Amino acid sequence: MPGGADLPYCKHLNGRGNALIRDYVEGGGSYMGLCAGAYYACARVEFEPGSRLEVVGDRELRFFPGKAAGCIYPGMAGRASSEGAQVPPLPPFDQKTSPRSPRSPSSASLSGRRLLERLDEAAPLLERTNTLQRTFSRVVHTSADAEVPGPRSLGRLLAERLVALGVTHFFGVPGDFNLALLDELISEPRLKMISCCNELNAGYAAEGYARAKGLAALVTTFSVGGLSALNAVAGAYAENQPVVCIVGAPYSTAWSLPRVLHHTLGKAGQLDFELECFRPVTCYQAQLRRVDTPAEMVRKLYLALRAAVEQRLPVYISVPSDFAAMQHAAFAQAVPPPPPALVSVPSRLEAAVARVADFLNRATKPVLVAGAHMRSSRARAAMVALAEASGMPVAVMLNSKGLFPEDHPNFIGLFWSSLSSPGTGEIVVSADAYCMVGPVFTDVSTAGYTHMIAPSALVEVQRDAVLVGTSGLYGLVAMEDFLEALIPKVRRNSRALDKWRAQHIPPGVPPALPPGTPLAVNRVFKHLQAVLDSSHALVVDIGDGLYFAAKLRLPHGCPFEIQACYASIGWSIGATLGYGIAEPQRRVVTVVGDGAAQMTVQELSTLMRYKVNPIVLLSNNGSYTIESEIHDGPYNRIQQWDWCKVAEGMDVSGNLRAFKVTTEEEVAAALREAVKLRDKTVLIECILDPGDCSVEVLTMGKLMANTNAGVKS
């Protein structure tokens, strides 16, 4: 900012510039005022009174209490113009003789270190406002804040901060560059390592853990480990699952030495290639370097963890092998609390609620739709309360199945365009207002974008914003606050729900077949439905099984997890490991096809090792079913495996029970036995005909084929 010349352009902006700055700060941003920027945000300025640069008066932003006076440096005001002060040549100042600003408590005339001190003093004033808070109060605690005496290792600090954020397990594979780091992490007794067979599966496991816990950690070695996990991290990014990717990197001097290291691309000193690969699939990258001070290392770790929690996305942390056990007093400072929950800006919240309430109250047949971003327990409870108060029906999207209780009287089923539950698609599409909470629109979740939602009738509620129709956008509004505030404002209107109830016909039971009839896939899910209860969690891979699992009526409290956006086949086995470790009181039921399982089968052994004890329903039809329906060819046939023998070969501790089933009677008996065997991993290999698939797979295959060929469906 040009000193002394801010009044003309402030007047020209007519208050809008300051409004934008204030919105940014109230929305969680930070304001650091350097030189004229500090004057600009003080309560009052008295700058060069009586000169051509005079700026005297109360200020609008008032971020810093007190009065700012200046100039500090002699000669500054000697060359003035309408553009502000022009800095004259100034002699260098010795640190001991450099000009100082007044140090009275009321002064906001700041320079150098004093400015940073005053920013710290001002921070609590901002924290006390009822605005959207997304940041911790301070990044690096001073020695006065320390609770742990003496030095501490960098690795132990990282472990303690993960524990403070609710992470009690991390997933990974040892490698020479991360061994010292692993020693420091496991020295924290509250943090346990889950050793996986490979880094890809460890990444899938971390993503599954994040779904249950809200945050996960993945530890790999440099390059060969990190890049192996990259596919899983990309999936976590696409699915908005926060995974802290911690890489044990080469020693800190390797970046500057003319040496070629192993696990590199064969070019001396060129070691940033892994970071560049992770950049598109992480929201923050912290690469600790030799030039960093200990305080800077702490700050980088802190910002990475904060970004993961706030943005619900993966982050990347690179720790050189010689830094992991390095001790310093800066690493012994107190672990900060987790970030506070989002709190809306009151004026924005009030405006959004008023607009949406009017929008819904004017509608004849409004409906509610739950989306994938409605994951927090508070948002889910508010959605239930809104449905009950309004009388509106509630549908779920494919990627949000399980986020609204399916035994609730207002639940009308799955909205999945042409693949919707019977009657559900018609009710949603015929509505004249749809309030969709946390929707994620992809080609999978919309059945090839055939969902036929009119944008002008859509209210879209996301985690921190509300969009009404095609024109009304309300930012800095937290989803939970919005739903809770909307409940008393919406008039009861059950027309759409009444219409659904009048025309709904419960799904029928498949007719009985003669004993010994070869097993069909719909019979597998008929009997799975019979044994499911609220103690289970469903983890479903992308495949034909998904289309049958989507039709299941979930018991109250039974989670349903799929990777609907990234859709990486084989994800479910690793995700089962992570989810089961995070929720040991639940029994995970995994639905996976043989083609997907061939990608990641090694982690069956890890499930047995850590006694996660899931029930794995594996469809064996010798093919990639979905790919065959999209575009058939000989490449969609896979090598047959004897899955029971494969699993038994991994079982060295008697922790497995495997069933091979070929008829309906056998799968029913196997499932009944499986739910009793809670102390074992149970594999049920279902032998199916390659041509046996759901109608939904046929429909989706055609839609995807048209999309891939550039043909409009």
Does residue 496 carry a pLDDT above 80?
Answer: yes
Q: How confident is the model at residue 15 (pLDDT cuts 50, 70, 90)?
A: low
Q: How confident is the model at residue 95 (pLDDT cuts 50, 70, 90)?
A: very low
Count the Cβ atoms, other than its own, within 10 Å of residue 312.
Answer: 20
For residue 28, give the amino acid letter.
Answer: G
Rounded percentage of the chain residues whose pLDDT exceeds 90? 67
Nearest-angstrom CA–CA distance, 370 and 381: 12
Give the bridge partners for 620, in sequence order: 687
pLDDT at 637: 87
Averaged pLDDT, 153-165: 96
Does residue 77 carry a pLDDT above 70?
Answer: no
Q: Of 482, 396, 405, nearest to 440 (Cα)?
A: 396
Q: Strands 42-47 and 55-58, how do they pair?
A: antiparallel
Mapped onto helix, strand or coil, the DSSP state of residue 249 is: strand
Does 700 or 345 have the greater pLDDT score?
A: 345
Does residue 105 carry a pLDDT above 50?
Answer: no
pLDDT at 691: 83
pLDDT at 30: 82
* Average pLDDT over all residues of the chain: 86
pLDDT at 713: 58
Does 332 or 581 have the greater pLDDT score?
A: 581
Nearest-angstrom CA–CA distance, 552 and 685: 20
Among 142-151, 284-293, 701-710, the range scoring the smallest mean pLDDT is 142-151
Please, which residues have CB within 8 angstroms of residue 691's CB and are 6 or more apart in sequence? none
Does residue 170 carry a pLDDT above 90?
Answer: yes
Q: Of 235, 206, 171, 207, nearest to 568 (Cα)?
A: 235
pLDDT in tens, 448-491: 888 888 999 999 999 999 999 988 899 999 999 999 999 999 99
pLDDT at 66: 74
Q: Strands 458-462 and 465-468, how do they pair?
A: antiparallel
- What tokens does 76 get? 């500054």
Averaged pLDDT, 95-124: 38
* CB-CB contact of 548 with 525 (8 Å): yes
pLDDT at 107: 32
Give the bridge partners for 245, in sequence order: 218, 316
Does 99 or 589 have the greater pLDDT score?
A: 589
Count the Cβ atoms, other than its own, within 10 Å of residue 75.
Answer: 13
* CB-CB contact of 544 with 628 (8 Å): no
Does 395 or 505 have the greater pLDDT score?
A: 395
pLDDT at 10: 64
Q: What is the 3-state secondary structure (H, E, C) of 374-438?
A: CCCHHHHHHHHHHHHHHCCCEEECHHHCCCCCCCCCCEEEECCHHHCCCCHHHHHHCCCEEEEEC
pLDDT at 424: 96
Q: Which domains does the chain have, with CATH numbers?
A: 6-127 (no CATH), 143-332 (3.40.50.970), 346-503 (3.40.50.1220), 521-703 (3.40.50.970)
Among 359-368, 489-498, 576-585, 692-701, the range scoring the smallest mean pLDDT is 692-701
Q: How confident is the model at residue 14 (pLDDT cuts 50, 70, 90)?
A: low
Task: Find the Cα–Cα–Cα–Cα dihedral 630, 635, 641, 643, rounded to 10°.
Answer: -30
Q: Of 150, 152, 121, nearest to 43 (Cα)?
A: 121
pLDDT in tens, 632-672: 888 888 999 999 999 999 999 999 999 999 999 999 999 99
Nearest-angstrom CA–CA distance, 117 and 144: 14
Q: How confident is the model at residue 151 (pLDDT cuts 50, 70, 90)?
A: confident
Does residue 73 carry a pLDDT above 90?
Answer: no
Nearest-angstrom CA–CA distance, 559 and 574: 17
pLDDT in tens, 545-556: 999 999 999 999
The structure's pTM equals 0.80
- What tokens does 253 get? 């001097």
Averaged pLDDT, 145-158: 74
Does 24 or 603 have the greater pLDDT score?
A: 603
